[in-house]
Amino acid sequence: MAENDFHKTSSIDQCQVIELDKHHHANGNLSVVENGAQIPFDIKRVYYLYDVPGGEERGGHSHKQLRQFMVAISGSFDVIIDDGVHQRCVTLNRPYMGLLIVPGIWRVINNFSSGSVCLVMASNHYNEDDYVRDYEEFKKLTSSKI
């Protein structure tokens, strides 16, 4: 499949909330994410968003090939996913729940609660060429879905 074909075939229905196993202990809980086990890709990059000022948004882009798994490690936030035809808002507010985002999906992250931390596990290293940062360009790439 060509690099930009993901935008033509990707659907928000392919994005899914995944509940991680919770290991309860008297001295605290533990959840685990391992390469290819809980999520369907090997993790090549991890980053996190924090100290996002009230009212601000993050994201506002799509990826051509990158898969991501987002978790609200602390606090809560909303992830608006958009495949060019349909949109859905997913609220992440539990450290054992994460959102799998497939290539070709526009995402905006907003409504950050005070003290929230968004952990993102990615299938590839950073590559600026993998980004679609202009929504109008994204809409053109997804126009064959209509």
Known catalytic membership, residue 24: no
pLDDT value of residue 15: 96
Smallest CA-to-CA distance from 95 within 9, 32, 34 is with: 32
Q: Which residue bears the tokens 């999520």?
A: 39
Q: Which residue bears the tokens 């590559």?
A: 127
Domain of 118: which CATH number? 2.60.120.10
Model-level pTM?
Answer: 0.91
Q: Is the pLDDT reported for residue 53 higher than 60? A: yes
**Beta carbons within 10 angstroms of residue 107's beta carbon:** 21
What is the three-class DSSP state of 59? Answer: strand
- The total number of structural domains in the chain stands at 1
Asked if 105 and 70 count as a contact pair (C-beta separation under 8 A), the reply is: no
Q: Range of 52's domain?
A: 5-23+31-145
Classify residue 84 by burial, with Cβ atoms within 10 Å: 0-12, 13-18, 19+.
buried
Q: Which residue bears the tokens 């409504």?
A: 111
Q: Is the pLDDT reported for residue 91 higher than 60? A: yes
Q: Is the pLDDT reported for residue 79 higher than 70? A: yes
Catalytic residue (choose from 7, 24, 61, 125):
61
Q: Is the pLDDT reported for residue 44 higher than 90? A: yes
- Name which of 26-30, 43-47, 68-72, 99-103 the model is least confident about: 26-30
Q: Pick the more confident residue, 142 or 108.
A: 108
Q: Is the pLDDT reported for residue 129 higher than 60? A: yes
- Mean pLDDT confidence for 29-48: 93
Q: Is the pLDDT reported for residue 5 higher than 70? A: no
